[in-house]
Amino acid sequence: GKPSYKWRRVLLKVSGEALAGDQSQTIDPKITMAIAREVASVTRLGIEVALVVGGGNIFRGSSWAGSGGLDRSSADYIGMLATVMNAIFLQATMESIGIPTRVQTAFRMSEVAEPYIRRRAVRHLEKGRVVIFAAGTGNPFFTTDTAAALRCAEINAEVVLKATNVDGVYDDDPRSNPHARLLHTLTYQDVTSRDLSVMDMTAITLCQENNIPVVVFNINKAGNISKAIKGERVGTLIGA
């Protein structure tokens, strides 16, 4: 019979930073292509994939608020617009290799993408299309990690797969401490009480309240995205 995988529907969160690669450019087309190829390989297996993209490679509201008279809300709207740019780029790459893809934005930009309509998003997934959720939650003061948790809960996806530039969650910062250890499993409680920088409190709490496991893994290792989506052991698994 058909091989069965751990997840039937996943929410893949790709940060803006992950799209930038070695940071020498805003978006690295090699990275968007690598993501597209791996996503294609799992949609062929029948696993439904929704994405939330960040915008930190282009604009992060919190670091701009206050400059040039920019209030936090306006800065965050610019940040949300940045995620739309990434989403459109990623959509173009995916479609260039034949993956039917829809972008849905949290606030209306009807000439550019569909508005977010939950039931329509689910329908797209059921038809085997990849859905990219852009513009975060549509609200300032939130993050795209929170958008990932929220959309995951809304569309009944089973897991948030958080693609990062590190192998997973460590007990200390691996860039400054060479002895930092990678933690393979964690509870939500561990993350919140030990203040491990995995995702912001709002996002992790939303996952906890809805019993959504989170997998944190390195997007730069070939094969990792498809492994994570297929439910193979990779990175750090956070759960109850």
Tokens of 104: 């849905």
Asked if 140 touches ligand UDP (CB under 6 A), the answer is yes
Q: Which of 21, 136, 168, 235 binds ligand UDP (CB under 6 A)?
A: 136
CB of 131 to ligand UDP, least distance (A): 17
Asked if 38 touches ligand UDP (CB under 6 A), the answer is no
Asked if 26 touches ligand UDP (CB under 6 A), the answer is no
Residue type, 33: M
Asked if 55 touches ligand UDP (CB under 6 A), the answer is yes
* Residues 125 and 180: beta-carbon distance below 8 Å: no
Quickly list DSSP for 180-235: --EESEEEHHHHHHTT-SSS-HHHHHHHHHTT--EEEEETTSTTHHHHHHHT---S
Contact window for ligand UDP (CB under 6 A) among 12-20, 87-95, 160-168, 207-215:
12-20
Q: Which is nearer to ligand UDP, 83 or 236 (CB)?
A: 83
CB of 59 to ligand UDP, least distance (A): 6
* Residues 83 and 135: beta-carbon distance below 8 Å: yes
d(CA 204, CA 213): 10
Q: Which of 7, 116, 133, 142 binds ligand UDP (CB under 6 A)?
A: 142
Asked if 76 touches ligand UDP (CB under 6 A), the answer is yes
CB of 76 to ligand UDP, least distance (A): 3
The site that binds ligand UDP (CB under 6 A) totals a number of residues, namely: 25
d(CA 56, CA 70): 17
Give the residue nearest to ligand UDP (CB).
54
| Burial class of residue 12 in the structure, from the number of CB atoms within 10 Å of its CB (0-12 exposed, 13-18 middle, 19+ buried) | buried
d(CA 8, CA 2): 13
CB of 134 to ligand UDP, least distance (A): 10
CB of 130 to ligand UDP, least distance (A): 18
